Amino acid sequence: MYCTGCGTGISGGSRYCPHCGVATGTHGFTAQTGNPNRVFRRPRDEGKIAGVCAGIARYLGVDVTLVRIVMIVLALWPPGVGLIIYVVCWIVMPKDPLLIPPAQSVQAQSAPVPSP
């Protein structure tokens, strides 16, 4: 693979050119499997109230505390905007799927029946 900015050869796993810093574009919104790399969902176990701030932080790749502070500031000024955004995101954002381990096949072990 060659850099589109400077033309030097770079490895296929690089996100940025090590010489000029231009993004290679190979790691965008989809992973190598074809599934989205960043998913806009509320986590089941990381949230304080509904997980909205944790989901936004995970999607943007920033610290959840920063997102919570921004939401509090938006709730205070302009009045109510952060609250409206939070409620709308609560309604729109789906929760992470519940991860249930696959059922194990339980084989009935035939124990010998004791004779009287």
Q: pLDDT above 90 covers what percent of the chain?
A: 40
* CA 47 – CA 104 distance, rounded (Å): 31
Q: What is the pLDDT of residue 72?
A: 94
Which DSSP symbol is given to 52? H
Residue 42 in this model has a pLDDT that exceeds 80: yes
Over the chain, what is the mean pLDDT?
81
- Average pLDDT for 44-55: 91
* CA 25 – CA 13 distance, rounded (Å): 11
Residue 111 in this model has a pLDDT that exceeds 80: no
* CA 96 – CA 39 distance, rounded (Å): 9
Rounded-to-10 torsion of CA 44, 96, 25, 19: 20
DSSP 61-92: TS-HHHHHHHHHHHHHTTTTHHHHHHHHHHHH
Residue 32 in this model has a pLDDT that exceeds 70: no
pLDDT-derived band at 11, boundaries 50, 70, 90: confident
pLDDT digits (tens, 9 = 90+) for 59-85: 998 999 999 999 999 999 898 899 999
